[in-house]
C-alpha cells in the first residue's frame, strides 16, 4: 500500500508543531533538533532542509506563534457588534481564556524574552508586540470614529498599555499567581479610561 505523500508546506507545519513541543520542554538552547525531527516523524536532514539552523527554526516558531495569536484575537471579535469598550473587554477575556490552551506557546515567548540581547530574537518579539498594540490601537481608533469612546484617549498609548497588561497577566498565569477576579478588575480599570 502506497503511503500518502506529504507536501513540503504540511511537513514544515509538522516540524513547527514538534518544535513548539520541544522548545516548551526546556528552552531554545537546550532543545535538540533530533528530538524535534522525531516528534515530527521526519529525518534530521529534513528539518535542516526547511530551516537552516536550530535558531532559524526557533525564530520561525516565534513568528508562527505571534501570527496565530493575532489571528485568534482578530477572529474572536471580528463580528462583535457591541460598544468599543465591550469589544476590547471581550478581546481581553478571550485572550485570558486561551492561556490554558496555549501554555506551551506562552512559555516559549517568555524564554525568548530572556534572549532579548540576540538582535534576531528581539526583532521577532518587537514585530509581534507591535502587531498586538497596533490591533488594539485600531479598535480604539474605530471607536473614536463611531463616537462611543472618549475622544481624548491616546489610542497608541492605550494599545501599548493593554499589551503590557496581557504580558503581566500571562506572567502571573505561568507563575500560578493568576486570579480571574483580579485580572477582570485590572482590565476594568483600563477600560474606564475609554468611557471617561
Which pLDDT score is estimated for 4?
58
**Lowest-confidence pick of 2-6, 118-122, 132-136:** 2-6
**pLDDT for residue 117 is more than 50:** yes
Which pLDDT score is estimated for 27?
83
Cβ contacts of 117 within 8 Å, gap of 6 or more: none
Dihedral angle sign, alpha carbons of residues 178, 181, 184, 190: negative
Question: Model confidence at 6, in pLDDT bands (50, 70, 90)?
Answer: confident
Which pLDDT score is estimated for 2?
41
**Measured distance CA(88)–CA(135) in Å, rounded:** 10
* Domains annotated on the chain, with CATH: 1-51 (1.10.10.60), 59-195 (1.10.357.10)
Q: For residue 75, give the nearest of 135, 118, 128 by alpha carbon.
A: 135
Task: Return mean pLDDT, the chain.
Answer: 93
Question: Model confidence at 190, in pLDDT bands (50, 70, 90)?
Answer: very high
pLDDT in tens, 77-106: 998 888 999 999 999 999 999 999 999 999
Mean pLDDT across 95-124: 94
- Tell how far CA 79 is from the center of its chain: 21
**pLDDT for residue 76 is more than 70:** yes
Which pLDDT score is estimated for 5?
74
Dihedral angle sign, alpha carbons of residues 147, 134, 158, 186: positive
Task: Measure the CA dihedral 131/133/136/139, to 10°.
Answer: -80
**Measured distance CA(159)–CA(166) in Å, rounded:** 11
**pLDDT for residue 1 is more than 60:** no
Which pLDDT score is estimated for 174?
93
**pLDDT for residue 195 is more than 90:** no
Q: Helices 103-113 & 155-174, crossing angle to 10 degrees? A: 110
Cβ contacts of 51 within 8 Å, gap of 6 or more: 15, 57, 60
pLDDT above 90 coverage of the chain, percent: 88
**Measured distance CA(37)–CA(34) in Å, rounded:** 5
**pLDDT for residue 3 is more than 60:** no
pLDDT in tens, 156-177: 999 999 999 999 999 999 999 9
Which pLDDT score is estimated for 8?
86
Residues in the chain, how many? 196
Q: What's the count of helices (H) and strands (E) in the chain, helices before strands? A: 9, 0
Amino acid at each position: 500500500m502506497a503511503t500518502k505523500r506529504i507536501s513540503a508546506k504540511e511537513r514544515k507545519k509538522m516540524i513547527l508543531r514538534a518544535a513548539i513541543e520541544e522548545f516548551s520542554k526546556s528552552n531554545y538552547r537546550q532543545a535538540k533538533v533530533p528530538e524535534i525531527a522525531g516528534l515530527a516523524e521526519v529525518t534530521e536532514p529534513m528539518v535542516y532542509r526547511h530551516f537552516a539552523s536550530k535558531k532559524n527554526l526557533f525564530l520561525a516558531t516565534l513568528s508562527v506563534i505571534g501570527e496565530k495569536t493575532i489571528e485568534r484575537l482578530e477572529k474572536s471579535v471580528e463580528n462583535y457588534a457591541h460598544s468599543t469598550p465591550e469589544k476590547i473587554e471581550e478581546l481581553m477575556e478571550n485572550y485570558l481564556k486561551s492561556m490554558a490552551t496555549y501554555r506551551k506557546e506562552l512559555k516559549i515567548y517568555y524564554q525568548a524574552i530572556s534572549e532579548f540581547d540576540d538582535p534576531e530574537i528581539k526583532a521577532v518579539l518587537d514585530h509581534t508586540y507591535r502587531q498586538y498594540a497596533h490591533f488594539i490601537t485600531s479598535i480604539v481608533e474605530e471607536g473614536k470614529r463611531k463616537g462611543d469612546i472618549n475622544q481624548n484617549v491616546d489610542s497608541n498609548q492605550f494599545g501599548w498599555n493593554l499589551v503590557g497588561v496581557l504580558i503581566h497577566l500571562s506572567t502571573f498565569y505561568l507563575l500560578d499567581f493568576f486570579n480571574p477576579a483580579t485580572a477582570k478588575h485590572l482590565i476594568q480599570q483600563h477600560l474606564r479610561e475609554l468611557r471617561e
